[in-house]
Amino acid sequence: MTTKPLTTTPCVGLCSTVFGDCVCRGCMRFIHEVIDWNRYNDEQKTVIWQRLDEHLRIILPQFVRIYDPIKLINVMQAQHIPYRADHIWRCVYDLLCTSEKRFLALGDCGFALKAGCSFTDIHQQLYTLATAYYERDFLRAQHWLDDHDD
């Protein structure tokens, strides 16, 4: 089994924080997480991965139906994509990303997009959720600090 350590970077090489986004449209990390990633310890990196994976667990079931998890894992192995079998939604997302970059028949992957759904829809919903988390957690905290900075 190929295991993807949670402490590897989530970067997918499509960083939008350089254009001023507070949430990267590529990996969905917050700007400060992108900037400080190499300074974080394994525990801090794991917490970020857990949030990213939780977002996948929230969003993907709305768009994807898994019908053969074993086939999904077999495709991950055949494609030499690191994975964690206990993070099935991360596997689905990684295969969707792979299919965007190179030919990969999703019909052979053990899951299917629900009717009328696309990877663009999924990506937009993930970005919307990540942005909402950023605004809730970090902007609200910043406003509180600004209000109490005496």
- Number of CB atoms found within 10 A of residue 74's CB: 14
Domain boundaries, the chain: 17-143
What does pTM read for this prediction? 0.84
Give the SS3 label for residue 118.
Answer: coil
* Per-residue confidence band for 109, with pLDDT thresholds at 50, 70 and 90: very high
pLDDT digits (tens, 9 = 90+) for 51-92: 999 999 999 999 999 999 999 999 999 988 888 888 999 999
Q: How far apart are the first and last CA of the chain?
A: 55
